[in-house]
A and B are shown apart, each in its own frame.
Chain A
């Protein structure tokens, strides 16, 4: 029962017999049931067409093609196999990249009569780009070339020329007749000159790479809290973790120790990739979703700007310098693609100049994120080097990225930091209650003896931002100026409360990224409630048309995706809201103090990773 799992991707077109080969693998390994066979016999044109076993949806059967990635399962006593089956033509890049992303072996089909075709090269190179280094080249339809050894070796030689452009690829060639089963699961007597194992025999012996030898990395997905228990839950991306290990937590850069690894009804002493675990730490730290735990001797890189290979998967072309969401491990951050360096021609494996990135293109780009990614190069780690790109307007997954190099930004002046500063950013609609709450919080903090400053959006517009209007650009400029001042104050140990509508998410994220210690408070009340309150009479003006571009009416408010505190001012009392905000501030300050108390070791680590 302790078989290993091996994930395989295949690609091929209608004619080269890929569906037949998969059908044959399923059939010969006993993965097809009698009633499924009968269903296929009923629709087979002549005899038993094994290709129909894997032919999925009605729409594609009508068109006689497969249109998407389908997953198939079969097993032998030694292995469980998952095959990601992808079509060879329509939208091939998107589908093949998807299928290859989780596979450790690529199965590439060649029709013996046709030899190496442009699409063969495409398949091989996309699999290689996605990180697959183990390739099985199935030279099919050998019966139609008279089982010719010469033909087999000619094709092998032709493929080896392609292989020379794919460093480290390890390739196995097998002459096959998928319709009859020669060399699929059983060795063929008809192809007596071939002495190697059958395709299945070979697949049974291939190692399934699981990233155990790479340094430890785990993105925190979820924090399990229960009566003083705090488990940091995630799936180990790479490496091994043991009780007692010292890990580096990012982005806080705290060095922490693993106290225990509870696993349902047992306690583990060690765990390795790709297990899903929950780690309890010996140190009192406050980590959350999106944070990363890593090998402290081999930390990941800190990337704000990087070069990446992107597979574009949307019919809408890439918009340069526009915000997209990047999901990496358990973190989702805003970022932009700033430049397209080149586009890859996957048929000739050459880089071409490019100015646009369109559907099914693969390009090398320069990207930046508003918050840093803690990552590795994809060549070193497929889990921590990959990300997806999401269009925030449509929520569609539009791209898949593989980090090729971290771009280090020019060194800046070392920034002095004094004491325990913090920016608390109140965002929300006009009349949601930002000023009320921020003033209350301000007074409470003062009375507790903290150093506090309050920057109110309306006040700032009278001097620092005097003359700015309400266009998107002007609004962003206003918010950036406030952010700049808040950053200065924070660095000098002041708790800085900012109260500003700050309607655009990406600018808030940009400021969060710039300020080391940042708390976002979403002051939330439904538009109808705010409009009912209309403290300054602005909604009335906006409705009457005398105040254009008013947030919530004819200008958007982009609500925070993961604010540290959210106050529903229509549902809770001012006292409740204020006390939750003050609690959040004080617990954040307490965390900061622990950092300062920590020994010099932590300081060194800080330098280590920020290089």
Chain B
């Protein structure tokens, strides 16, 4: 018998190996669950890695309070169905000032509601490993990220001081207070994630599928009109046939015009598209290297 694994099988094998290393070597790991498609894939990989047991770590969701309602409902039903412990950390608890991107700008809003809140949440429960669904193909500064990304006691990332990673041997040794961010989907691309969702039949938030939604149309951007929006004179949300290509806070996640209403149609659309996954993300465009800046501070 001799055959080779398909690329999805090879990626799956690599990710499962990483998840098992984390479960075996860390005393208190947690899986960051952001409710998006990558998290959904990561969760399925974790189910496979420890089958028939449940994944031996809880899920953590950092809720900025600006998430889509459908995300929250989906999150709660997934955790309940799988019988997993879900820790919801509410970002608003970490701030006393009025925090939103209109008042603070997207950089500072993210720093408070996502980065700061995440660090607090990780510190509160003393997690020594945080598993996240970031992929290297998402953004240039992520192309150099390790699978095991070392963070100091303040949760900071120093791109010049990362451990070399050879073969599939990961060094997870940390001192008390230090931690490792683990990225089992490092080598997956957006299309890999969708193809895997298709063949594995993985449930995902309906926001990814096209339908008519109430949107504020501002230039090229479609801003979901779910939470109150400061509007300019003459602006009025309208119904637009669209879908979300990536998920975040409603204010900073623009929708894309699309009629793709099944996973197959989404894959077709992605093969044709000329635009990157994060083009509708308002947060990455602030500064030329804004993602790198956020990562240094502790953002995923």
Binding site for B on A (CB under 8 A): 1-5, 33-36, 39, 43, 54-59, 61, 67-73, 75, 79-80, 82, 94-95, 97-98, 101-102, 208, 210, 212-213, 221-222, 224-226, 229, 231, 233-235, 240, 262-264, 270, 272, 274-276, 278, 289, 313, 325, 327-328, 330, 382-383, 386-388, 390, 395-397, 400
Chain A: which residue is nearest B17 at the CB level? A235
Instruction: Report yes or no: A382 in contact with B167, Cβ–Cβ below 8 A.
Output: yes
Chain A: which residue is nearest B51 at the CB level? A264
**Do A73 and B187 contact each other (CB < 8 Å), given the known contacts A1-B195, A56-B140, A57-B159?**
yes
Q: Check B268 for interface membership: any CB of A closer than 8 A.
A: no
Instruction: Report yes or no: A221 in contact with B279, Cβ–Cβ below 8 A.
Output: no
Interface size counted on chain B using CB atoms at 8 A: 62
Q: Check B217 for interface membership: any CB of A closer than 8 A.
A: no
Select the residue from B12, B50, B52, B167 with max chain A CB neighbours within 10 A: B167
Q: Check B103 for interface membership: any CB of A closer than 8 A.
A: no
A407 CB, nearest partner CB in chain B, Å: 22
7 closest A-B pairs by beta carbon, nearest first, are A276-B16, A33-B276, A58-B289, A80-B7, A101-B166, A34-B274, A235-B17
Q: Check B273 for interface membership: any CB of A closer than 8 A.
A: yes
Instruction: Report yes or no: B168 in contact with A4, Cβ–Cβ below 8 A.
Output: no
Residue numbers in A under 8 Å from B13 (CB-CB): 235, 274-276
Instruction: Report yes or no: B274 in contact with A33, Cβ–Cβ below 8 A.
Output: yes
Question: In the complex, which of the residues B50, B169, B273 contacts A327, with contact meaning CB atoms closer than 8 Å?
Answer: B169
- B105-149 contact mask (Cβ, 8 Å, vs A): 1 or 0: 000000000000000000000000000000011001101100000
Instruction: Report yes or no: B186 in contact with A330, Cβ–Cβ below 8 A.
Output: no
Instruction: Report yes or no: B53 in contact with A3, Cβ–Cβ below 8 A.
Output: no
Select the residue from A58, A70, A224 with max chain B CB neighbours within 10 A: A58
Instruction: Report yes or no: B53 in contact with A1, Cβ–Cβ below 8 A.
Output: no
Residue numbers in A under 8 Å from B163 (CB-CB): 396-397
Q: With A and B bound together, what is the CA distance between A386 and B170 in angstroms?
A: 12
Q: Check B81 for interface membership: any CB of A closer than 8 A.
A: no
- B38-58 contact mask (Cβ, 8 Å, vs A): 1 or 0: 000000000111111100000
Q: Check B231 for interface membership: any CB of A closer than 8 A.
A: no
Residue numbers in B under 8 Å from A2 (CB-CB): 6-7
Residue numbers in B under 8 Å from A400 (CB-CB): 164, 166
Q: Check B21 for interface membership: any CB of A closer than 8 A.
A: yes
Binding site for A on B (CB under 8 A): 1-14, 16-17, 20-21, 23-24, 47-53, 136-137, 140-141, 143-144, 159-160, 162-169, 171, 173-175, 186-187, 189, 191-192, 195, 199, 273-276, 279, 288-289, 292
**Do A226 and B52 contact each other (CB < 8 Å), given the known contacts A235-B16, A276-B17?**
yes
Instruction: Report yes or no: B49 in contact with A233, Cβ–Cβ below 8 A.
Output: yes
Residue numbers in A under 8 Å from B2 (CB-CB): 212-213, 272
Residue numbers in A under 8 Å from B274 (CB-CB): 33-34
Chain B: which residue is nearest A265 at the CB level? B51
Residue numbers in B under 8 Å from A272 (CB-CB): 1-3, 5
Instruction: Report yes or no: A275 in contact with B5, Cβ–Cβ below 8 A.
Output: yes
Q: With A and B bound together, what is the CA distance between A82 and B137 in angstroms?
A: 10
Instruction: Report yes or no: A98 in contact with B20, Cβ–Cβ below 8 A.
Output: no
Select the residue from B8, B165, B169, B273 with max chain A CB neighbours within 10 A: B169
Residue numbers in A under 8 Å from B275 (CB-CB): 33-35
Instruction: Report yes or no: B160 in contact with A71, Cβ–Cβ below 8 A.
Output: no
**Do A56 and B11 contact each other (CB < 8 Å), given the known contacts A208-B4, A222-B23?**
no
Q: With A and B bound together, what is the CA distance between A272 and B1 in angstroms?
A: 9
Question: In the complex, which of the residues A55, A59, A386, A396 contacts B167, with contact meaning CB atoms closer than 8 Å?
Answer: A386
Q: With A and B bound together, what is the CA distance between A68 and B162 in angstroms?
A: 10
Instruction: Report yes or no: A5 in contact with B171, Cβ–Cβ below 8 A.
Output: no
B94 CB, nearest partner CB in chain A, Å: 27
Instruction: Report yes or no: B159 in contact with A225, Cβ–Cβ below 8 A.
Output: no
Residue numbers in B under 8 Å from A34 (CB-CB): 274-276
Question: In the complex, which of the residues A80, A98, A263 contacts B164, with contact meaning CB atoms closer than 8 Å?
Answer: A98
Apart from the given pairs A222-B23, A222-B50, A388-B169, 9 other A-B contacts in the complex at a CB distance below 8 Å: A2-B7, A80-B189, A226-B52, A264-B47, A264-B48, A272-B1, A274-B5, A276-B20, A382-B167
Residue numbers in A under 8 Å from B195 (CB-CB): 1
A175 CB, nearest partner CB in chain B, Å: 29
Instruction: Report yes or no: A274 in contact with B164, Cβ–Cβ below 8 A.
Output: no
Instruction: Report yes or no: A67 in contact with B7, Cβ–Cβ below 8 A.
Output: no
Q: With A and B bound together, what is the CA distance between A221 and B163 in angstroms?
A: 21
Instruction: Report yes or no: B9 in contact with A224, Cβ–Cβ below 8 A.
Output: no
Chain B: which residue is nearest A314 at the CB level? B164
Instruction: Report yes or no: B17 in contact with A3, Cβ–Cβ below 8 A.
Output: no
14 A-B Cβ contacts within 8 A?
A: A57-B144, A58-B288, A67-B160, A69-B144, A73-B189, A97-B164, A210-B5, A233-B50, A235-B168, A262-B51, A264-B47, A276-B13, A330-B21, A382-B167
Instruction: Report yes or no: A102 in contact with B279, Cβ–Cβ below 8 A.
Output: no
B41 CB, nearest partner CB in chain A, Å: 14
Q: With A and B bound together, what is the CA distance between A153 and B49 in angstroms?
A: 51
